Structure 1
Amino acid sequence: MTCSALSAVDEPLEGTAAEVRGWVCLEFTAAWGRDVLDGTALGEELATELSRRADAADVRIMFIRHPGRSEPLTSGHTVLLARTDPDDSWCERVKIDTPFDLLDIDFAVLGGPAPGLGDRVEEPMVLVCAHGKRDQCCAVFGRPVAAELVRSFGEHVWECSHTGGHRFAPSMILLPSGYTYGRLSEADSLEAVESAMSGSVYLPGLRGRSTWTPQGQVSEIAVRQHISCGVDDLSVIDLGAGVSIVEHVDSRRWEVETETSELPPRPPSCGAVPKPVRPVTAKSVRELGSGLLLT
């Protein structure tokens, strides 16, 4: 069985999105290699320096390409810069001549307001993992989803490199929110993107918002399952010890209690050595000030 089939048996999706402050997505149509920063595509020196800078700024560097296109780029590389914090989420599109020009971008800007380095992107960008050299599930299940989405959303859709969590394939990220999805059918993927385009959040298949810790991701989703609200309406304070506070922009607040369990080991990707899985799940949701307990 594939890693995604084994995971689907009993592993929750909530709380499994990559935890990063922002995303740097480089259009790159040549061979990707197993890891975008392993030196295969960009060379050892550039890859090492970009990895160091990304770690320092708490951002994720990814490769992107338009579905079905692998021809060499003749007019430079598109770069998407995205900050996911709901207090001020944004995405900008920058054009660079070569990947070395990424060194001219201070990744620390992803921790603040839009820097104006490129054109502001007003509608969500859609990234679907199709990184076959990293895991077969991403290619087999991701590419058909990307191909279906591009028919409706055109240039807003990109295939991307590893997003974290092969076993949840097909995996999709929406920018700038950082909302990450898994196990979506082509029809569900369309609904998720349509919801994002209208400013709302599609809950089926939602793994979490990359801004938050796993506990915070689970807590936010738990509140969204009880109320209707927009993409950037909720923020999360992770208090630790299984307790988070979720706050709405209208000042309503909820206390969410979570717990961590352990499932039998399973491969994190196809062919890998099985590892234990420790999912985080919500135990209770209590609206502060009202005494209302939602479970």
Structure 2
Amino acid sequence: MSTCATASRRLAEPLSGTAATARTWLLIEQPGPWGADALTTSHLDPAVGRALAAATEGTGVRVALIRRPGRHADCHGPTTQRVFAAHTAPGRSWVRTAALADPASLTSLDFAALGAGEHGGLWEPHTGEPLVFVCTNGKRDRCCALLGRPLAAELAATGSIDTWEITHIGGHRFSPTLFVLPYGYAYGRVTAHEVKDIVEAARDGRITTGNCRGRSAWERPAQAAELAVRELTGEEGAGALDVTRAEGPAPHWSVTVTHADGRAWRVAVEQGAAEPPRPESCGRVPGSPARMDVASVTPLVPVSP
């Protein structure tokens, strides 16, 4: 059976610069079945789903539904639902959590503040293990079900990785795909063994770059630029690098990546087209998805006053 993930893997399509963009995530536990547009086609009240989509538009907050791995009978689930709000900017990452009886209360949150990284004491801090979210929504793409669900189940079975299924994080053709909080780095084509290494690094405040798609805090050119600097320098610290400037319209960008120790690099990123054509999702007509190619990484020498 030919799938979008099979084609992407066979063509060795690059992963860098393909993560979903979200400075802040709002993740809502919702057991039971999910439709393709899960916010309005699940056991979450569709009116609440529509209200959340409208309220978060343009704020930098991305909303998704989550559930624990396992069988998902057509049931309405627990009387309370776990929610997470997580900001992913380097040096300012945080995760807040609560158990809510009525998700409709989420529509009153200050999404502009959350998108800017200000939680204002909302809920309780999540101080436990890193959180892993594996995309498993087969209604959006069958690769997420065929490859994501077995991975989520295997990770959950270890008993040592805090694993959730999630409705949609983009990039079906890179399945199995996932991202890890608190830092918001996304990964694709990963095995359970590789995820264990990713989580172990996150426990120590480190980032592994193998199979990494990028940090969701930034747009795609900046994701690729930051990963290129990590590869060049071997820097693993989660908060060590920041993107302080990204200039230029597509298909060319100049991205400035800075280190906490004062070093900086100018990264030239060019948008190319992945060839030959391949389906971006199962069932779609083959196309040439955009790819982020790093043309150069230039150290910036501080100018003396």
Tell me the TM-score normalised to structure 1 length. Answer: 0.92
Q: Within 2, Cα distance between the matches of 1:97 and 1:274?
A: 44
Gaps of 5+ in 2: none
In the TM superposition, 1:217-236 aligns within 5 A as: 217-227=223-233, 228-236=235-243
Q: Which residue of the partner structure matches residue 278 of structure 2?
A: 266
Q: Within 1, Cα distance between the matches of 2:120 and 2:159?
A: 26
Q: Which residue of the partner structure matches residue 211 of structure 1?
A: 217
| Residue 120 of structure 2 is aligned to residue 115 of structure 1 | yes
- Judging changes above 3 Å, is the alpha-carbon distance between structure 1 residues 139 and 3 closer, same or farther for their aligned structure 2 residues? same
- Judging changes above 3 Å, is the alpha-carbon distance between structure 1 residues 222 and 171 closer, same or farther for their aligned structure 2 residues? same
Cα-to-partner distance string for 1:51-108 (whole Å, 9 max, x where unaligned): 1112132211111111115364334000010011113110011211122122232222
The Cα RMSD (Å) is 1.8
Read off the aligned partner of 1:73 and give its amino acid letter.
G
Query: What is the percentage of aligned positions where both structures have the same residue?
Result: 39
Read off the aligned partner of 1:54 and give its amino acid letter.
T
Q: Which residue of the partner structure matches residue 55 of structure 2?
A: 53
Q: Within 1, Cα distance between the matches of 2:119 and 2:204?
A: 22
Q: Which residue of the partner structure matches residue 84 of structure 1?
A: 88
Deviation at 1:17, TM superposition (A): 0.3
| Residue 287 of structure 2 is aligned to residue 275 of structure 1 | yes
Q: Which residue of the partner structure matches residue 7 of structure 2?
A: 6
Q: Within 1, Cα distance between the matches of 2:296 and 2:175?
A: 28
Deviation at 1:154, TM superposition (A): 4.3
Question: Equivalent residue of 1:49, what SS?
Answer: helix
Question: Equivalent residue of 2:122, what SS?
Answer: coil
Q: Within 1, Cα distance between the matches of 2:82 and 2:189?
A: 28
Residue pair 1:39, 1:48 contacting (<8 A) in 2 also: no
What is the count of residue pairs matched by the alignment?
A: 290
Q: Which residue of the partner structure matches residue 198 of structure 2?
A: 192
Residue pair 2:39, 2:65 contacting (<8 A) in 1 also: no
Read off the aligned partner of 2:246 and give its amino acid letter.
D
Q: Within 1, Cα distance between the matches of 2:269 and 2:122?
A: 40
| Residue 295 of structure 2 is aligned to residue 288 of structure 1 | no
Cα-to-partner distance string for 1:185-224 (whole Å, 9 max, x where unaligned): 1211111111111111111110000111111000000000
Q: Among residues 23, 26, 33, which one is paired with 2:25 in the alignment?
A: 23
In the TM superposition, 1:102-251 aligns within 5 A as: 102-110=106-114, 111-122=116-127, 123-152=129-158, 154=160, 156-227=162-233, 228-236=235-243, 237-240=245-248, 241-251=252-262
Tell me the TM-score normalised to structure 2 length. Answer: 0.89
Question: Equivalent residue of 1:226, what SS?
Answer: helix
Cα-to-partner distance string for 1:147-203 (whole Å, 9 max, x where unaligned): 222234547211111111101100011112110000111211111111111111111
**Higher deviation after alignment, 190-199 or 76-85:** 190-199
Question: Equivalent residue of 1:280, what SS?
Answer: strand
Question: Equivalent residue of 2:58, what SS?
Answer: helix
Cα-to-partner distance string for 1:242-266 (whole Å, 9 max, x where unaligned): 2111001111101111222112332
Gaps of 5+ in 1: 291-295
**Higher deviation after alignment, 16-25 or 150-159:** 150-159
In the TM superposition, 1:35-54 aligns within 5 A as: 35-54=37-56
